[in-house]
Structure 1
Amino acid sequence: MSSPSMIEARPQPARKRRSISWRSREGRSVIYQVVAILSVIGAIALLVRNTLANMRERGIQSGYDFLNQPFGFDVSETLIPYEITSTYWTAFAIGMANTLKVAVVGILLATIVGTLVGVGRYSANWLVRKLCYAYVEFFRNVPIYLQLLIWYIVFTEVLPSYDELWQIGHFYLSKNGFSFPWPVWLLGQNLAMAGGLLGVVAAWLYARRSRRLFDQTGQQRPVALVGLALIVGMAIVGWLAGGAPNEWSLPVRGTFQIENGASVTPEYLALLIGLVLYTAAFIAEIVRSGIASVSLGQHEAAASLGLTKRQSMRLVVLPQALRVIIPPLTSQYLNLTKNSSLAVAIGYPELVSIANTTLNQTGRAIEALSIVMLVYLTLSLITSALMNWFNARAAIQER
């Protein structure tokens, strides 16, 4: 047998040079794609040019210069300082903030409710199982538009008037909305929020290390309680470092409205509750189908290891079901964000409502709708990117 030093190195195969030629299949494919892209660009350019020419012939103004002009209308609910002389830029920023306020809170609540209902479909309790089934079948089969109108009627017609409002302590509920205490925001609250965010990072690192220890040794550490303790503890440390402010702005009943504190309008409550209950019904079915995709052998293997039913669901079943749950869950998050545009039917000043007012005042239909399209496209792409990242993290790693 010849020694390794006597063995000649096998020559490396020469790399094929890519040639863009009509005779090669790869070359024709590239040419077809270039022609298709140029055709689409040309069609869009022709459409834009013809549209601008027709608008000029009819004396219709175009452009985005109107964004620096005063909006001229009052906005009922805003997170940004606003006056009637504020510009259209400010109005669109308010609409986007209101859309985000509904979308972010709605996604969190819909995920919690949908997950609980989806897991409840497998409850050993007959009543819980049937109630979860009835919830899913009812809310997902009633059109969301109709649900929003029903909730809006509840908050504006069924609830008592301001003179007969419901009061529990410093909490007030009436046709005017829901008012509740709110802390006076000082340095302590800012440091508490920063400490809470650091606690989230610390809890994530602890959970990751606990999972690695469980995979190596089988020893299970309490993750939920420790993570919650880290978040709350670091928030308290930040609050104490900021002087431990404990001043609250308490709502007080005035002559015509509730003063001080914080409040949410009936329009926001109707939109939020309608979107959460509707979307949670679909999320519950996604969770149920994800759990059903895990083979029965996994349940039996978890039981043979001495895991309780709750431990089996949390440690064995749900981690494997995530790879089935996450992709359709992303679609439901996108649907909830886009369905928030139906708020125009109940008078909530979100992005589409601001765009409609802008269109009626300025006649800049294309410009107003293009802003709406750009905002929703950006929100959808960000949501998809975050969910794709989470999907990659939750995927089962092959060994």
Structure 2
Amino acid sequence: MSHRRLTVKGSLSLSNPTVRAWLFQIVAVVAIASIVIYLIHNTITNLNNRGITSGFAFLDRSAGFGIVQHLIDYQEGDTYGRVFVVGLLNTLLVSALCIVFASIIGFFLGLARLSENWLLRKLSTLYIEVFRNIPPLLQIFFWYFAVLRNLPGPRQAVDAFDLVYLSNRGLYIPAPQLGEGLLAFTGAVLLAIVISIGLYRYNQTHQIKTGQLRRTWPTALGLLIFLPLLAHWTFGAAIHWDIPQLRGFNFLGGMALIPELAALTLALSVYTSAFIAEIIRAGIQAVPYGQHEAARSLGLPNPVTLRQVIIPQALRVIIPPLTSQYLNIVKNSSLAAAIGYPDMVSLFAGTVLNQTGQAIETIAITMSVYLIISLSISLLMNIYNRRMALIER
């Protein structure tokens, strides 16, 4: 009986590693909770002392300022809530553009790093080593102040067929406007795609049964051209074009790509593509060389080998670090505030914060948006990564 009491007593002493581990965790949780409670209490007290009201009611108030670029209708009298939507869409726009361009440039640079052509290999190496070692903010300044702002003014703009104009005010291109034949045109395109998919599957089945190869793309291309044209002639134009025209000191009509967006897209695409190129190169080199030799022994040409054998296996190595680069693009897009591009940080954590004084709310909303965007990208890339992962049986 006494031996059991000694055992229980010894198990509850500080010499027991389990007891110490639990004790340290409890102390850590209490300390963190105390710090959080203190910060919240201190914040509320300071807000009350300064007469600052907290909450999100300010989102319904009129903003009273204009925004140079907005993907949705926006007027100066619109609310701060609509300003939030405008900034969010602008952030998503520049992030999406940079992800697409950086991926394309990085892919071809990664292949060029492995090319047997000496000049191509050295040029790609020079590109990577230069641009990935220059801070992205400096690259943004270079494209904006040294390149785009030195373009000619609107009256001396560089034009192409009186449709596209490039000046220091931005790139002006024709803007599509929906027409009366849009529904018929869309239906014709969908019908052409459905017929092409069915024909492709039929030709595959025919090849398996007879060994005869039938090409699908000429018929599919003809359908994609003929059916929409037929819908256009029958039901009218699906899209009308608003052509930009010079009026006074600027252009009216069309769609404008402002210099801030162009500079940000160029800088982040060039900067991130250098890192993606190294990821592509490392992923391809991670594929065992025996896969190359096996493909050559089957008589596969190099483009087919790369597309059907090497790249699918390299993706398993490429996707995880590529996800990190996509997240970096989203986070680096906040540097847009340095050149006045109206993104989330510039509009909401800048102008709106200064006008309303709601620092906690605006910063919290901005941080939450970036967190949600990053988590969404991570989720999508992880789903794709699981689909490409090797499954051992």
TM-score over 0.5 (shorter chain): yes
In the TM superposition, residue 80 of structure 1 has moved relative to its aligned partner by 1.5
Gap change, CA 1:228 and 1:178, over 3 Å in 2: farther
Matches within 5 A, 1:38-53: 40=32, 43-53=35-45
Query: Aligned with 2:165: secondary structure?
Result: strand
The letter of the residue matching 2:82 is: T
Q: Is the 8 A contact 1:275 1:336 kept in 2?
A: yes
Whether 1:328 aligns to 2:321 is yes
Residue 242 of structure 2 is aligned with which of 235, 249, 254?
A: 249
Mapped to 2, the partners of 1:155 and 1:371 lie a distance apart of 34
The residue aligned with 2:312 is 319
Whether 1:361 aligns to 2:355 is yes
The residue aligned with 1:172 is 165
The letter of the residue matching 1:380 is: S
Mapped to 2, the partners of 1:65 and 1:298 lie a distance apart of 62
Whether 1:95 aligns to 2:50 is no
The residue aligned with 1:279 is 272
Residue 76 of structure 1 is aligned with which of 68, 76, 81?
A: 68
Gap change, CA 1:347 and 1:83, over 3 Å in 2: same
Mapped to 2, the partners of 1:197 and 1:321 lie a distance apart of 33
- What TM-score comes out, normalization by structure 1 length? 0.82
Mapped to 2, the partners of 1:247 and 1:134 lie a distance apart of 45
The residue aligned with 1:301 is 294
Mapped to 2, the partners of 1:398 and 1:235 lie a distance apart of 46
Whether 1:389 aligns to 2:383 is yes
Query: Aligned with 1:62: secondary structure?
Result: coil
Matches within 5 A, 1:166-205: 166-169=158-161, 170-186=163-179, 188-189=181-182
Query: Aligned with 1:179: secondary structure?
Result: strand
The residue aligned with 1:134 is 126
In the TM superposition, residue 84 of structure 1 has moved relative to its aligned partner by 1.1
Q: Which has the higher mean CA deviation after the structures are superposed, 77-86 or 151-160?
A: 151-160
Q: Which has the higher mean CA deviation after the structures are superposed, 115-124 or 322-331?
A: 115-124
Q: Is the 8 A contact 1:67 1:89 kept in 2?
A: yes
Gap change, CA 1:243 and 1:362, over 3 Å in 2: same
Q: Is the 8 A contact 2:154 2:167 kept in 1?
A: yes
The letter of the residue matching 2:253 is: N
- Show CA shifts across 1:334-387 (max 9, x none): 100111100001111100001201111111111111010011011001100110
RMSD (Å) for aligned C-alpha atoms: 4.0
Gap change, CA 1:293 and 1:208, over 3 Å in 2: farther
The residue aligned with 1:346 is 339
Query: Aligned with 1:172: secondary structure?
Result: strand
The residue aligned with 1:258 is 251
Whether 1:376 aligns to 2:370 is yes
In the TM superposition, residue 57 of structure 1 has moved relative to its aligned partner by 1.7
Gap change, CA 1:198 and 1:283, over 3 Å in 2: farther
Mapped to 2, the partners of 1:274 and 1:41 lie a distance apart of 42
The residue aligned with 2:107 is 115
Gap change, CA 1:102 and 1:297, over 3 Å in 2: same
Mapped to 2, the partners of 1:313 and 1:145 lie a distance apart of 36
Query: Aligned with 1:73: secondary structure?
Result: coil
Mapped to 2, the partners of 1:157 and 1:362 lie a distance apart of 32
The letter of the residue matching 1:127 is: L
Residue 104 of structure 1 is aligned with which of 96, 111, 121?
A: 96
The residue aligned with 2:283 is 290
Mapped to 2, the partners of 1:305 and 1:311 lie a distance apart of 11
Q: Is the 8 A contact 2:193 2:224 kept in 1?
A: no
Query: Aligned with 1:173: secondary structure?
Result: strand
The letter of the residue matching 1:136 is: I
- Show CA shifts across 1:122-145 (max 9, x none): 222222222211111111111100
Query: Aligned with 2:178: secondary structure?
Result: coil
- What TM-score comes out, normalization by structure 2 length? 0.83
Q: Percent identity?
A: 42
Query: Aligned with 1:247: secondary structure?
Result: strand
Q: Is the 8 A contact 2:264 2:333 kept in 1?
A: yes
Query: Aligned with 1:184: secondary structure?
Result: strand
The residue aligned with 1:86 is 78
In the alignment, structure 1 segments of 5+ residues that lack a partner are 1-20
In the alignment, structure 2 segments of 5+ residues that lack a partner are 1-10
In the TM superposition, residue 268 of structure 1 has moved relative to its aligned partner by 0.8
Gap change, CA 1:294 and 1:275, over 3 Å in 2: same
The letter of the residue matching 1:49 is: H
In the TM superposition, residue 247 of structure 1 has moved relative to its aligned partner by 2.5
Paired positions, count: 377
Mapped to 1, the partners of 2:299 and 2:130 lie a distance apart of 38
Q: Is the 8 A contact 2:178 2:239 kept in 1?
A: no
